[in-house]
């Protein structure tokens, strides 16, 4: 008798969803520090770096959701670039 493993249902790919949600959370977190009334000048705050990082991460996630899988995406994760 051969032991067969049950076939797995195909996984639905949500490429970029984690990047989009994570980027929006980071964006909201750092932006909240800038929007809370403070005595300091907000224009020179280093919190803008976190806002920019979160925005870029969210934009990249949205791009990945719209564009879909890339030819560089490896089915088991990682990248097959250079192979």
Domain locations along the chain: 17-36+43-67
How long a stretch of residues is the chain? 83
Cβ(58)–Cβ(19) below 8 Å: yes
Q: Tell me what the mean pLDDT of segment 65-76 comes to.
A: 72
Collapsed DSSP state (helix, strand, coil) of residue 79: strand
Residue 12 has what pLDDT? 57
Quick: pLDDT tens for 47-67: 889 999 999 999 999 998 888
């Amino acid at each position: 008798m051969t032991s067969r493993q049950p076939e797995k249902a195909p996984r639905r790919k949500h490429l970029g969803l984690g990047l989009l949600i994570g980027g929006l959370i980071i964006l909201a977190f750092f932006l909240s520090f800038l929007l809370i009334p403070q005595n300091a000048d907000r224009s020179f705050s280093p919190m803008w770096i976190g806002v920019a990082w979160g925005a870029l991460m969210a934009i990249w996630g949205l791009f990945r959701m719209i564009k879909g899988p890339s030819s560089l995406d490896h089915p088991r994760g990682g990248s097959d670039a250079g192979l």
